[in-house]
Amino acid sequence: LYDAIMKADYNLIMGIMCISTVAVTTSILFLDLVYPLFDPRVRYR
């Protein structure tokens, strides 16, 4: 990513950022759905 920024390779930068965003969003959603299994105090209304 650093080399892409230094060389102004915008396509690579956008690809890395999109993949990173999808990975983080998917991880947060997965943890949000799995969290009640580990902590019974958490309940969905």
What is the tens place of the pLDDT at every residue in 7-42? 888 888 899 899 999 999 999 999 988 888 887 787
- Rounded distance, CA 21 to CA 27, Å? 10
Question: Are the beta carbons of 16 and 1 closer than 8 angstroms?
Answer: yes
Question: Is residue 45 predicted with pLDDT exceeding 70?
Answer: no
Whole-model pTM: value is 0.68
Helices (H) and strands (E) in the chain, counts: 2, 0
